[in-house]
């Protein structure tokens, strides 16, 4: 089972460049989300989706776009990279979002550096 697959694992961008972080899950999960992890800040929610065509903003959405055209994929787009977006990014998915007891499955993370 692949679970949640994130690509790339590492990326270096120049300020102002754009890129897309890919996330795919093969578990037919309805809920997918993106977090960023910074030292001392834990995981902060960027955007999430409760199903194809439905997305919403999390705690730190500025500078990021998402879309969910299929159940499997949930890409995160950086429109114009800034050094403040240097972070480790995690994609996570859950089978259901309608109950409180569903564990989240995480991808391996993408370490992004913006110079």
Partner 1 sequence: AQKITQTQPGMFVQEKEAVTLDCTYDTSDPSYGLFWYKQPSSGEMIFLIYQGSYDQQNATEGRYSLNFQKARKSANLVISASQLGDSAMYFCAMREPGTGRTGGSYIPTFGRGTSLIVHP
Least distance from partner 1 to the Cβ atom of residue 51, Å: 9
DSSP bridge partners of 59: none
Give the nearer residue to partner 1 in terms of CB position, either 54 or 79. Answer: 54
Q: Which positions touch partner 1 (CB under 8 A)?
A: 31, 33, 35, 40-45, 48, 50, 54, 56-58, 88, 90, 92, 94, 97-106, 108-109
Select 13 or 92, whichever has its Cβ closest to partner 1. Answer: 92
Q: Which residues lie across from 56 on neighbouring strands?
A: 48
Specify whether the CB–CB gap between 71 and 96 falls below 8 A.
no
CB–CB of 26/3 below 8 Å?
A: yes
The least CB distance from residue 63 to partner 1, in Å, is 19
Nearer to partner 1, 17 or 27 (CB): 27
How many Cβ atoms are within 10 Å of 115's Cβ, its own excluded? Answer: 10
| Smallest distance, partner 1 to C-beta of residue 43, A | 4
Beta-bridge partners for 12: 113
């Amino acid at each position: 089972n692949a679970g949640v697959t994130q690509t790339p694992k590492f990326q270096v961008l120049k300020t102002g460049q754009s890129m897309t972080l890919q996330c795919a899950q093969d578990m037919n999960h309805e809920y997918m989300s993106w977090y960023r992890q910074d030292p001392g800040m834990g995981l902060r929610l960027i955007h999430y989706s409760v199903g194809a065509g439905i997305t919403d903003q999390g705690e730190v959405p500025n500078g990021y776009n998402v879309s969910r055209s299929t159940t499997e994929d949930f890409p995160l787009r950086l429109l114009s990279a800034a050094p403040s977006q240097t972070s480790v990014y995690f994609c996570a998915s859950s089978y259901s979002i309608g109950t409180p007891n569903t564990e989240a499955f995480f991808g391996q993370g993408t370490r992004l550096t913006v110079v």
